[in-house]
Chain A
Amino acid sequence: MSFTENIEKQFAEVSNSNVVDLRRSAFTAFEKLGIPTSRHEEWKYTNIKTKLNEDISLAPADSQVNAAVKNYIASLPPYAFRIIFLNGVFHPELSIVPDINGLTICSLKDAFTSHSTLVETYFGKLVNYNEEHFAALNTAFVNDGAFIHVQKNVVVKEPIYIQYFFTASDVNAFTQTRNLVIVEESASIELAEDFRNASNIMVQYNHVSEMYIGKNANLDVVKLQLELNNAIGIHTLESQVERDGKFSAATITFASPNTGTGKPLIRNNVTARLVGQNAHADLNGLYFGKENAHIDNHILVDHVAPNCTSNQLYKGVLNGESVGVFNGKIFVKSDAQKTNAFQSSKALLLSNDASINSKPQLEIFADDVKCSHGATVGQLDENALFYLRARGITKFEAVQILTYAFAHEVIDHVHSKPIRQFLCDKLKDELKVNF
């Protein structure tokens, strides 16, 4: 069976489930787009087509909790709110859903019927499935994910973890997951989107999040991609920020493959559209690549309205033969006067075989704006290394300490204190720094 026949057959099975019209349009778009090759400008340095299995299976492959998942859940603080999915299927018995007035959290599958008005208004509206291959595929085949709706003026203080575990053994599975987050006027919430590979195979998944930040609302998202081991993961985050709204997204990727089992590949597309005056977006990222890992971050800040501000800070640490890709776009539309946009991309290459492709892209159509960008690629500062060693610290430890210092700046920008602390500990653990 050809790739197309396989996909069409599978689509026939989901096409009448829910959001029928949207699925059909998205599927038609995907049939035209297909899986991108490296000839496509946005996929030039990330050859996804050769990495994905030919015989992909898009239906969720649910399975039971395994020891790795149990251990992880047991290690979470007991009070943490968590929404847990196994292979893309919601598991309410593992989840702790907060019971807060004005906050709705349920599975997207349930929301298609229980919150159909909100779904019709918001679902599929931010993603551009006519151009984005994987957003189209996801929209056509979406099975489940998290639905979060924060009503006007509701401030949620504890962070909520949305966790996707992979435990299945089907190497062809290409799991399609989806989050829809609506934060209404003057409401506020902190989320973590956490992806973990708890299987011993190379997992494949395609995740899409749509996030709406209303007037004067606040949304902090941390994307945790720390325990993926071997994965082909594609993430798309589309956000829209209204007047006086604040959005921050930090994407933290530690790609360290289990030796000899293929090349892991993580692609993150993160977009913030600032559509109301005085809106603000912080898009930050930290990525660690080891061995033959491939990590690609594509960021877009679209300044549509005037007087908005945005910051992008991306830092990468690349070891082994790992490859990093950074593409940071800033669009300033003609109405977006008094825009203040800043971008910085820094990569540390710790081995001779590691590499980074870094491309800033600024398209400015307004005349009264402040935009700046900077990209650096380099090694650790020799003078700093010598300074540490001159105090008795071994070369190995000095490298770890300076790498920690380099990376820590991104974690410092994470607003949620418990998540920041968790990341700080994780970073120390990763770098074996014990202070």
Chain B
Amino acid sequence: MLSIKNLNVGIAEKQILKDFNLEIKRGEVHAIMGPNGTGKSTLASTLAGKEDYEVLSGEVIFNGKNLLEMSADERAREGVFLAFQYPVEIPGVSTTNFMKAAVNAKRKHHGLEPMDAKDFLKLMKEKLALVEMNKEFTSRSINEGFSGGEKKRNEIFQMAMLEPTLCLLDETDSGLDIDALRIVANGVNQLKSKERSFLVITHYQRLLNYIVPDFVHVMYGGRIVKSGGKELALKLEEQGYDWIKEEVGELAN
């Protein structure tokens, strides 16, 4: 479903991703861990189509299509979803109206009529329940005055509404207390399916206790330097990243 080959990406003349490779199959959950500044968020932003990031070379094939040729909005309509590390506050646009525009943009892309108002409300109600949010959230301006936990729940709510096939979770656990973390993870787990893949970017193993990955990758210096199962995350939690850095150093020498 997602195949990243020799991807090189820079921002403001600085190269961040270096010959990055990753294969994700339908229904798999991959976790990417790694110290600060190794390019984890750059990877997520590049896949979502943020224009500040410049793809220098490499290819990304998503469901048989060249992802890098698509605009950010086209990628989303094709089924890519980025849960933001820092969700944006947008005063004056309610979450309901936002989701109406987004759901209908996707439907139009797939040749469907706009959803009728009744069905839309029903869908919202159902998806709100996934993240234990009440209806009032959706009539408020997008993320305006939301707590950190509310913002992240809103991301997962939007993910549920748009039913993507590839979910990118960019440090969704950052700034969450344990209750919010549980709610967010529960929401994600209910969205797991054979058709849907996840790429979970995180600093801490904590989130992976709730969202159990099939594969764990460690990023360092703009590429994946180690891959393993969920036990790799536990080792990183116990021992930190120094041993990784040493291994990489030895390889480099």
Chain A interface residues toward B at CB < 8 A: 381, 383-384, 386-395, 397-398, 401-402, 404-406, 408-409, 435
Contact = CB atoms under 8 A, between A and B. Distances in A.
Nearest to A394: B73
B92 interface: yes
A397 B105 contact: yes
A402 B93 contact: yes
B105 A408 contact: no
B245 interface: no
A393 B101 contact: yes
A391 B84 contact: no
B90 A390 contact: no
Contact of A402 (B73, B81, B90, B105): B90
B97 A387 contact: no
Contact of A387 (B87, B91, B105, B162): B87
11 contacts: A381-B88, A383-B88, A387-B142, A389-B73, A391-B73, A391-B76, A392-B105, A392-B109, A393-B73, A402-B90, A402-B93
A392 B87 CA distance: 16
B93 A392 contact: no
Given A389-B73, A390-B49, A394-B73, A405 B92 contact: yes
Q: Number of contact residues on B: which range applies?
A: 20 to 34
B7 interface: no
Nearest to B159: A391
Interface in B82-138: 82, 84, 87-88, 90-93, 96-102, 105-106, 109
B202 interface: no
Contact of B93 (A383, A386, A390, A404): A404
5 tightest Cβ-Cβ pairs between the two chains A and B: A405-B92, A392-B76, A391-B102, A435-B97, A387-B88
Contacts of A405: 90-93, 141
A393 B105 contact: yes
Nearest to B105: A392
Interface secondary structure of A, over-half rule: helix
A401 B91 contact: no
B77 interface: yes
A387 B92 contact: no
Given A386-B50, A406-B92, A395 B97 contact: no
B77 A392 contact: yes
A435 B101 contact: yes
Contacts of B97: 401, 435
A168 to B, nearest CB: 40
Contacts of A389: 49, 71-73, 76
B48 interface: yes
Contacts of B49: 389-390
Contact of A386 (B72, B109, B142): B72
A391 B98 contact: yes
Contacts of A406: 92
Contacts of A402: 90, 93
Contacts of A390: 48-49, 72-73, 76, 81-82, 84
A262 to B, nearest CB: 34
A435 B73 contact: no
Q: Which of B73, B106, B158 has the most CB of A within 10 A?
A: B73
A397 B51 CA distance: 18
A392 B91 contact: no
A286 B27 CA distance: 50
Contacts of A391: 73, 76, 98-99, 102, 105, 158, 162
Q: Which of B98, B100, B142 has the most CB of A within 10 A?
A: B98
Nearest to B87: A387
